[in-house]
Structure 1
Amino acid sequence: MTLSATQPPSERERLTIARPDSAASPFTAIDVLQPARDIDGGYGARLRALRTAAADFKSEFLTTGKPDYVETFDLTGVPYPTKFGLWRAAVTPAPLLKITNRLTVIRWTETGGRVRTLLFEPSDGRLGANTPYLVKLYNSLPKQIRDREITTHATVKSVLANLGIKPQDVDYLAFDHLHTQDVRRWIGTTTPQPDLSPDAPVEPYFPNAKLLVQRYELEAMADLHPLQVPWYQPETYRDLRPEGLLPLDGDVLLGPGVAFLSTPGHAYGNHSLVLNTDTGVWVMSENVIAAEAMTPEHSKIPGLARWARSIGQEVILNANTIETTAEQYNSIIIEKAIADPAQADPRFLQFFPTSELTGLFLNPGTKPTFSHLHLKHGQF
């Protein structure tokens, strides 16, 4: 089967995507933000309403408590086009910048005493590299540059082994969106896979885990728009174990101080992880790739502050597919309104990009002014 970005959707074969179990969601729906998203009057009117709704959400969210433990772990550093990550704003000759992808491990205790474990951004780097856009990008780089731009710090398995977390103890997996992600090894398949297990279905590494994903994004895999095609591996979602999937419909509270908010834009199925910690509220997604993209007036990256000021925009989008640019802007404002100021430098916010801009001498003019690098809350 071949999916081509040049074929109109009507001429592409529609994939059959694994259908999840029909069990009801175990999470509490959050209804504060959706009315503001739905109001008439266009994106400008919604933006004004969302600023107020985000403040209302934050007030309620702070009363839910805190998770027991949160910590980030570096997985990989990868190259990414500057024109996407610092959309239109950066003044640099560097066509690429570098981003660091991180795993976040979250644990909380339910009312009945059961401990839950969520892995946020558990990227399988080896399989993710098969994404069409990444294949093209990596193959275009000379080896000496590729070796500098692409670095491996750890794997999901090694992080969990060091923490002492057994695969069967992981309850949930999630990504802010499914660009580049292939989860077959994590949640298993119902049929043999020629590249992984040609003679038998893939056994799940996390046998009890469910992938939390916005329903729209999962269903959209069946017939991607040409703008989306280079960034997904839809065929890898065809044979997933249905019991390993748990679709979400918008905003949900997972546990004390742990929530997902629908923040479409970078990808239409994007959602942001919101955490209440000892230092205040943190937000994680890839809607922007640097904390300073939330407050560009304080950025020393050449071009960012001037561009934001001249164009009258208060954030710098991470825009590769540009599925719904205005909606992404509004989503970032939600994130900006919720995140607390960073303790290390209150000019910046506790917004932790799931792919954080990382300085590299090969990419002049892209060194971040401020980086979070690591987050830890509570004890494991």
Structure 2
Amino acid sequence: MKLAWQDSDVLDMPTLGTRVTAFDGLTEVPGGYGAKLAWARNQAKVFRSEFTATGTPDSVATCDLITLPYPTKFGLFRASRAIAPFLSITNRMLVVRWTESDGRRRVLLFEPSDHELGQNTPYFAALIRRTPKPLQSLLTTEHGTVLGHLARLGIKPEDVDYLLFDHLHTQDLRRWVGTVRPQADLGGDVQPAFPNAKVIVQRHELMAMSQLHPLQQPWYQPETYQDVRPDAFLAVDGSLILGPGVAVVETPGHVLGNQTLVLNTSTGIWASSENVIAAECLTPEHSKMPGIARWARTWQQEVVLNANTIETTVDQYNSLVIEKTLVDRSQTDPRFLQFFPSSELTASWANPGTSPTFTHKAIAHS
């Protein structure tokens, strides 16, 4: 499949921010995945001490978008003994603002999902077709829209500098960044809702979109990227400090180009991605959900993956340990960490055995 940016120099664009060198050298680590795990844990400690010295952003706000069903076998990979085949997750957007050293103000949207178009993702489209409409309305709750939340926060779309996703599963960005040709399903020409925003994406994932592996195909909408504006993308390689207390850390595994937002706030360091769907999946020994603690104890595994696509499972485990090492403990309940799932497990009457032991629901910083 030919994509618009393949005729441009988008993949050669200079990166932004300051490169994080703490995670360089992983491919040169001698030994197997166990050696790489030890190295990753150590380097996360190195970066943690460096990152706290960068300062804090001006503000972080959390915006609920949609709660929807998700297979238990994916979200609580191998560990859950719940009888419910589905659990519920809530997708949220983080709005991060900071001031550069030269006084310029920046606005970053993390996970600004266009959930209306996201429903066309092959996996979810098939699930919707199999679910009666009355049941759909019971299991899915729309909380707000990206543009509606920004208006509430007093942010104009043209003031948004960056869009960031931990990965591009389910994402259709056409209404956010515009297209170079009319789109029949969207009524013709598509002007960007965020005319000045750049999408920060790992080069690995962007390049993979033109030729997906069969295991990836249910979760992407590659055809929606054929005509997107190529100058809307900032293809980056690895981890970057974007601003005071704001970083993107490469965390491959869930997809090859996975990335994690890391924030230094008034309560300490947070990380956010979809590598797990609940904070307790990073400290499963404290989970009260059926099977989770026992599974972790039996198999001596310290994390429970979110594994709808198992692209490189061991890498995802190692990436989770990086996230786990970077963050601080929750001030609400120190058994759990300040890891904020971009899609967080949410209790639902329809899904017995999947009610989380602990939820964050939001990151607040100002």
TM range (shorter): over 0.9
Report the CA distance between 1:25 and its aligned residue: 1.8
> Residue 262 of structure 1 contacts residue 271 of structure 1 at CA under 8 Å; is this kept in 2?
yes
Matched, 1:153 2:143: yes
| 1:332 alignment counterpart | 320
Matched, 1:366 2:354: yes
Matched, 1:225 2:225: no
| 2:98 alignment counterpart | 108
Alignment counterpart, residue 253 of structure 2, candidates 247, 259, 265: 265
* SS across alignment from 1:288: coil
Q: 1:269 to 1:17 in 2, by over 3 A?
A: farther
Matched, 1:298 2:286: yes
Report the CA distance between 1:239 and its aligned residue: 1.1
Letter in 2 for 1:278: S
Deviations 1:254-286 (A, max 9, x none): 000000001011111110000000000000000
| Distance in 2 between residues matched to 1:197 and 1:269, nearest whole Å | 32
| 1:180 alignment counterpart | 170
| 1:44 alignment counterpart | 34
Q: 1:351 to 1:38 in 2, by over 3 A?
A: farther
Alignment counterpart, residue 29 of structure 1, candidates 2, 6, 19: 19
| 2:333 alignment counterpart | 345
| Distance in 2 between residues matched to 1:294 and 1:117, nearest whole Å | 29
The count of residues paired between Structure 1 and Structure 2 equals 363
* SS across alignment from 2:210: helix
Matched, 1:15 2:15: no
| 1:68 alignment counterpart | 58
Letter in 1 for 2:242: L
| Distance in 1 between residues matched to 2:251 and 2:168, nearest whole Å | 14
Report the CA distance between 1:144 and its aligned residue: 3.1
Q: 1:359 to 1:37 in 2, by over 3 A?
A: farther
Letter in 2 for 1:28: T
| 1:131 alignment counterpart | 121
Letter in 2 for 1:47: L
Q: Which moved more, 1:38-47 or 1:85-94?
A: 38-47
| 1:4 alignment counterpart | none
Q: Which moved more, 1:30-39 or 1:78-87?
A: 30-39
| Distance in 1 between residues matched to 2:354 and 2:27, nearest whole Å | 34
Q: What does 1:210-221 align with in structure 2 at a 5 Å threshold? A: 210-221=198-209
| 1:11 alignment counterpart | none
> Residue 161 of structure 2 contacts residue 198 of structure 2 at CA under 8 Å; is this kept in 1?
yes
Deviations 1:315-364 (A, max 9, x none): 00000110000000000000000110000000000000000000001000
* SS across alignment from 1:230: helix
| 1:81 alignment counterpart | 71
> Residue 15 of structure 1 contacts residue 221 of structure 1 at CA under 8 Å; is this kept in 2?
no
Letter in 1 for 2:3: T
Matched, 1:59 2:49: yes
Letter in 1 for 2:316: Q
| 2:222 alignment counterpart | 234
> Residue 4 of structure 2 contacts residue 230 of structure 2 at CA under 8 Å; is this kept in 1?
no
* SS across alignment from 1:50: helix
| Distance in 1 between residues matched to 2:50 and 2:183, nearest whole Å | 45
Gapped runs of 5+ residues in structure 1? 1-13
| Distance in 1 between residues matched to 2:135 and 2:346, nearest whole Å | 15
> Residue 4 of structure 2 contacts residue 229 of structure 2 at CA under 8 Å; is this kept in 1?
no
| Distance in 2 between residues matched to 1:263 and 1:306, nearest whole Å | 27
| Distance in 2 between residues matched to 1:300 and 1:138, nearest whole Å | 30
Which consecutive segments of 4 or more residues in structure 1 shift more than 6 A?
none
| Distance in 1 between residues matched to 2:257 and 2:40, nearest whole Å | 18
| 1:3 alignment counterpart | none
Alignment counterpart, residue 163 of structure 1, candidates 153, 162, 166: 153
| 1:356 alignment counterpart | 344
* SS across alignment from 2:88: strand
| Distance in 2 between residues matched to 1:321 and 1:177, nearest whole Å | 12
Report the CA distance between 1:243 and its aligned residue: 1.6
Letter in 1 for 2:59: Y
| 2:185 alignment counterpart | 195
TM-score, normalised to structure 1's length?
Answer: 0.94
Letter in 1 for 2:222: P
* SS across alignment from 2:53: helix
Letter in 2 for 1:236: T
| Distance in 1 between residues matched to 2:153 and 2:2, nearest whole Å | 38
Report the CA distance between 1:89 and its aligned residue: 0.6
Letter in 1 for 2:207: E
Letter in 1 for 2:334: P
> Residue 13 of structure 2 contacts residue 235 of structure 2 at CA under 8 Å; is this kept in 1?
no
TM-score, normalised to structure 2's length?
Answer: 0.97
Report the CA distance between 1:16 and its aligned residue: 2.8
RMSD between superposed Cα atoms in Å: 1.0
Matched, 1:204 2:183: no
| 2:297 alignment counterpart | 309
> Residue 108 of structure 1 contacts residue 116 of structure 1 at CA under 8 Å; is this kept in 2?
yes
| 2:238 alignment counterpart | 250
> Residue 17 of structure 1 contacts residue 219 of structure 1 at CA under 8 Å; is this kept in 2?
no
| Distance in 1 between residues matched to 2:13 and 2:96, nearest whole Å | 23
* SS across alignment from 2:15: coil
Report the CA distance between 1:26 and its aligned residue: 2.5
| 1:289 alignment counterpart | 277
